[in-house]
Amino acid sequence: MFYSIDGVDGAGKSVQIKLLCEFLSNRGEKVVLCRDPGSTFLSEELRKIILHRDDLPTGRLAQMFLFMAARAQLVEEVIAPALAAGQTVVCDRFLLSSVVYQGYAGGLDPQLIYNVGLAATRGLVPDKTFVLDVPQEVAVSRMTNRELDTIEREDAEFKQRLRDGFKAESKKHPKSIIIIDGLQSIEDVHAEIVRNL
Ligand code: TYD
């Protein structure tokens, strides 16, 4: 099975990813954890370029293709082989992030991004994506005390559009994209994810 966890920055992904991986391992699954963009040499290099190179002005389209290149390599090197070996993959973000961040929030056509994404992943999409949903004000308040990356420095309007974007995509794919109320306690969010596995 292939799971991804998504949501706005500050929604609480990291702790839920950790709990999910522990849960799956405890029930005997061999779990491969990865992050998008990242988890291969090329994808981690692209991640640095996309998120931390203010000296490299990058348009929306180029940015979207950089995310896709990182993702193509992640699928080929890590995710596809793991699934072929019968392992369970948990990925911190995946194609849905591109559809929502570069599409709904960034102004590119979400459907175009989805189609490019299917080419990049050779049609591979997660069996389930859990979207942790919190109001933008809460997300921002959880993100203090650290340096913001390129995407996190986008303006308030961009960030406001993210939440609706995730909801719209969940409506389109109700069986595979599950919205979870991220205001619940850590334990309750985890329990809801487990119920939906
Ligand atoms: P994330 O890994 O959640 O960052 P952190 O290290 O802060 O936990 O995500 C990195 C950023 O990239 C995040 O702001 C979302 C953004 N992003 C996109 O805009 N498009 C994408 O396709 C992906 C995968 C991430």
State which of 74, 93, 158 you would mutate to test the pocket of ligand 1, scoring each by most atoms of that ligand within 8 A of its C-beta.
Answer: 93
The answer to whether residue 30 scores a pLDDT higher than 80 is yes
Q: What does 126-177 look like in DSSP terms, one character per residue?
A: -SEEEEEE--HHHHHHTTTTS---TTTTS-HHHHHHHHHHHHHHHHHSTTTE
Mean pLDDT of 33-41: 98
* Residue among 41, 157, 70, 61 at smallest CA distance from 102: 61
What are the beta bridge partners of residue 130? Answer: 5, 178
Q: Give pLDDT tens digits for 122-163.
A: 999 999 999 999 999 899 888 877 788 999 889 889 999 999
Mean pLDDT of 97-122: 98
Check pocket membership of 9 for ligand 1, CB cut-off 6 A.
Answer: yes
pLDDT of residue 140: 86
Q: Give pLDDT tens digits for 51-76.
A: 999 999 999 999 999 999 999 999 99
Residue nearest to atom 16 of ligand 1 (CA): 151
Average pLDDT, the chain: 96
Is there a contact between 8 and 148 (Cβ–Cβ < 8 Å)?
Answer: no
Check pocket membership of 2 for ligand 1, CB cut-off 6 A.
Answer: no
Is there a contact between 6 and 130 (Cβ–Cβ < 8 Å)?
Answer: yes
Higher pLDDT, 140 or 16: 16
Check pocket membership of 114 for ligand 1, CB cut-off 6 A.
Answer: no
Check pocket membership of 37 for ligand 1, CB cut-off 6 A.
Answer: yes
Its pTM surpasses 0.95: yes
Check pocket membership of 6 for ligand 1, CB cut-off 6 A.
Answer: no
pLDDT of residue 134: 95
Using a pLDDT cut of 70, give the percent of the chain over it: 99
Q: Please state which of the ranges 10-24, 40-54, 114-128, 135-149 shows the lowest mean pLDDT.
A: 135-149
pLDDT of residue 17: 98
Does domain 2-195 match CATH 3.40.50.300?
yes
The answer to whether residue 164 scores a pLDDT higher than 80 is yes
pLDDT of residue 141: 87
